[in-house]
Amino acid sequence: MVGGALQIAGLLVGGIGMIGTFAVTGMPQWRVSAFIENNIIVFETIWEGLWMHCIRQANIRMQCKVYDSVLALSPDLQASRGLMCAGSVLSFLAFMVAIIGMKCMQCAQSSWQAKGYIILVAGLLFILSGAVELIPVCWVARTIIRDFYNPMVNVAQKRELGEALYLGWVSAFCLIAAGAIFCCFCRCCEKTRSYGYSTATHYPTHSQHLYRKTESSYSKSQYV
């Protein structure tokens, strides 16, 4: 009962992290224009993402344009594009493996060892996808903060942390938490299984006692 609840909780948390990863990959709000010093044009907001940049005017009109070339991106955004695509694929693969593992848990014909391996692989994939997502999010955030406090950077070129970065941190945490839940579930089940085997080895069953008693009585009668 507890094991089933852990699996469902891990699958839900992993699903939230997977959907968040897809959203972060497509969102343009990675870098947001900063309004500091003489840059007081508050009716225009600039968003820069992995695939496009958008200009929003007075919360009414928004225009977006896809980047003409990958070389138009900064090095951190170029690497982030590839890493976020890899994280999305890994999170989806982990989610599907987790579903397969949960279905195998309900199948009595398959061996427990195979079931445990599938759940463990799903947990490791979730942790790996969360780690892969953390790298670009933290990298871009570090670049934004470094340029923001750099006096050599023009004020018009300074940016602030966008909503996609915060969502990326939350999604990565959900993926890592889901992986930890699945790995802990496998560990707990392995301990329970080994304890059951040791108990069955040290304590003979009632049928074994009855068989030994019958065999001894038969040998005595045969001797007489």
pLDDT at 105 over 90: no
Instruction: Report residue 160: phi and psi, to 5°.
Output: -115, 165
Domains within the chain, CATH numbers bracketed: 1-27+71-192 (1.20.140.150)
| AA identity, residue 207 | S
Give dist(CA 23, CA 152) in Å, integer: 33
pLDDT at 28 over 70: yes
Q: Which tens digit of pLDDT belongs to each residue from 160-215?
A: 899 999 999 999 999 999 999 988 877 766 555 554 444 444 444 444 444 454 44
Of all residues in the chain, the percent with pLDDT exceeding 90 is 38
Between 197 and 39, whose confidence is greater? 39
Long-range contacts of 99-107 (CB under 8 A, 24+ apart): 99/11, 101/182, 102/7, 102/11, 105/3, 105/7
Q: Which two tokens stand for residue 130?
A: 């969360």
Give dist(CA 219, CA 222) in Å, integer: 5
Give dist(CA 144, CA 30) in Å, integer: 10
Quickly count helices (H) and strands (E) in the chain. Answer: 5, 5
Which has the closest alpha carbon to 126: 104, 95, 165, 101?
Answer: 95
Per-residue CA distances from 145 to 55, 90, 106, 207 (Å): 21, 29, 49, 72
What's the pTM?
Answer: 0.77
Cα angle value 87/91/94 (rounded, 5°): 140
pLDDT at 38 over 80: no
Q: Which tens digit of pLDDT belongs to each residue from 124-147?
A: 999 999 999 999 999 999 999 998
Q: Which two tokens stand for residue 76?
A: 């951190």
Asked if residues 155 and 37 have their Cβ atoms less than 8 Å apart, the reply is yes
pLDDT of residue 201: 44
Give dist(CA 134, CA 179) in Å, integer: 15
Q: What is the 3-state secondary structure (H, E, C) of 119-131?
A: HHHHHHHHHHHHH
User: What's the mean pLDDT in 21-44?
Assistant: 77
User: What's the mean pLDDT in 108-127?
Assistant: 77
| AA identity, residue 200 | A
